[in-house]
Amino acid sequence: MSETKTAAADAAQSLLPTYGRFPIALVKGEGSWLWDDQGKQYLDFMSGIAVTNLGHAPRKVKEALVKQLDELWHVSNLFRIPNQEDAARLLTENSCGDAVFFSNSGAEANEAAIKLARRYQQKVLNNGRYEIITFEQSFHGRTLATLTATGQEKVKEGFAPLPEGFKYIPYNDIEAVKAAISDKTAAVMLELIQAEGGIFPADQKFVQELAQLCESKGILLIVDEIQTGMGRTGKLFSYEHYGIEPDIFTLAKGLGSGFPVGAAVAKEKLREAFGPGSHGSTFGGTPIATAVVKATIEEIVGDQLPQRAAEAGSYLISELRAKLEGNPFVKDVRGLGLIVGIECAAPVASIITDAQERGLLVITAGPNVIRLLPNLLVTTEEIDSAVKTLTELLSNKASSI
Domain boundaries along the sequence of the chain: 1-44, 72-302, 304-401
**What is the DSSP-derived secondary structure letter of residue 377?**
T
Of the pLDDT bands very low, low, confident and very high (cuts 50, 70, 90), residue 6 is low
Confidence check: pLDDT of 399 > 90: no
> How much is the pLDDT for 398?
83
Q: Which one has a higher pLDDT value, 104 or 400?
A: 104
pLDDT (tens digit, 9 = 90+) per residue, 198-228? 999 999 999 999 999 999 999 999 999 999 9
Quote the CA–CA distance of 18 and 140 in Å, as a whole number.
18
- Interhelix angle 305-324/287-302, rounded to 10 degrees, is 70
DSSP-assigned letter for residue 203 = P
Measured between alpha carbons, how far is 359 from 374 in angstroms, rounded to an integer? 14
Report yes or no: 28 and 35 within 8 Å, Cβ to Cβ.
Answer: yes
Tens digit of pLDDT for each residue in 265-313?
A: 999 999 999 999 999 999 999 999 999 999 999 999 999 999 999 999 9
Q: Are 97 and 222 contacting, i.e. CB atoms less than 8 angstroms apart? A: no
Residue length of the chain: 401
State residue 64's pLDDT score.
98
pLDDT of residue 5: 58
pLDDT band, residue 397 (cuts 50/70/90) = confident
Domain 304-401 adopts which CATH fold? Aspartate Aminotransferase, domain 1 (3.90.1150)
Distance of CA 219 to the CA centre of its chain: 24
Looking at every residue in the chain, the average pLDDT score rounds to 96
> How far apart, in whole angstroms, are the C-alpha atoms of residue 29 and residue 34?
4
Q: How many other CB atoms are found less than 10 A from the CB of residue 303?
A: 15
Q: Where are the beta strands (DSSP E) in 261-314?
A: 262-266
Residue 13 has what pLDDT?
86
Q: How confident is the model at residue 1 (pLDDT cuts 50, 70, 90)?
A: very low
Task: Give the pairing of strands 220-224 and 248-251.
Answer: parallel
pLDDT > 90: what percent of the chain?
A: 95
Neighbouring-strand partners of residue 361: 44
CATH number for region 72-302: 3.40.640.10
Task: Decide if pLDDT at 55 tops 90.
Answer: yes
Order of all β-strands in the sheet with 363-364: 330-336, 339-344, 369-372, 363-364
Instruction: For 241-263, write each residue's pLDDT tens digit.
Output: 999 999 999 999 999 999 999 99
Q: What does the alpha-carbon distance between residue 217 and residue 210 come to, in Å, rounded to a whole number?
A: 11
Summarize pLDDT for 358-389 with one digit per residue, the tens.
999 999 999 999 999 999 999 999 999 999 99
Helix, strand, or coil here: 94? coil
Is the model's pLDDT at 133 over the cut of 60? Answer: yes
Integer Cα distance of 363 and 353 in angstroms: 9
Instruction: Please report the pLDDT score of residue 307 as a whole number.
Output: 98
